Amino acid sequence: MTIFNGSFSVSRYRVLGKQAGISLAAANKKLKTYQARPLKIKGSKELVFGWERPNLGHEFEGSHWDLSDCQWDDGYLLRIRVEKRKVPKSLLQIVFQEKLDAHIAENDGKPLGRNRRKELLDETRDELMDQALPQIGYCDVFWDLEAQEVLLFSTSKGLQAIFEELFRKTFGEHLELNIVKIGPPLLGLSSEEWQINLSSPVFERMNSALPSELAGANIS
């Protein structure tokens, strides 16, 4: 979902780590690696996603873009493009059975071994996936540098997982940042309480409440 649709829902994330002094060049370091590639009608992957240049109302020349093109107020506005392909199970079963029958007939009725059956099933799935048209979706993300928060304009768990993976790979790993989804019991924490260290009782409370989200977080 994009913020220009008129109505939207929001998931809030806190950015943890030393953000002061992060240069634009450092933030751009891995962006190109995780940008959405030119759309291909054919493809064997069920899910493909990446960052796309947001529509901020001004024109660009060429296809190159980076975070300097995404600056908005006190942060960056980014967009995630998601491509999904799906093969109905019933169709896969029908086509697979036809291929299986043909292979058995060619081998005088001799059944295929377990490994070969699996290979044939995978081959059939890839062939059908390659013919499936992708469904395209978008979701906007605003990284508020001053508030040290990121707003994901969706509450979908699937989009949350995609965003969390993209953010950590693009910015988290080399900038030593992490993100934590803000929800109970974290809603009441003040700005001062977020500035904690690993031995703080506050961190222990957060870590016990949301261990999977805070595991390995770099907090300063």
Q: What is the DSSP string of 22-46?
A: --HHHHHTTTGGGBPPPP-S--S-S
Residues 6+ positions from 113 with CB-CB distance below 8 Å: none
Mean pLDDT over residues 89-115, rounded?
86
For 87, other C-beta atoms within 10 Å of its C-beta total 18
Nearest to 31 by CA among 1, 57, 65: 65
Q: Helix 89-106 crosses helix 114-131 at what angle (to 10 degrees)?
A: 130
Nearest to 84 by CA among 20, 145, 133, 134: 134
On the question of pLDDT at 93 being above 60, the answer is: yes
On the question of pLDDT at 185 being above 80, the answer is: no
Q: Tell me the chain's radius of gyration from C-alpha atoms.
A: 23
Residues 6+ positions from 98 with CB-CB distance below 8 Å: none
pLDDT value at residue 211: 43
Of 186 and 91, the structure prediction assigns the larger pLDDT to 91
On the question of pLDDT at 69 being above 50, the answer is: yes
pLDDT value at residue 126: 86
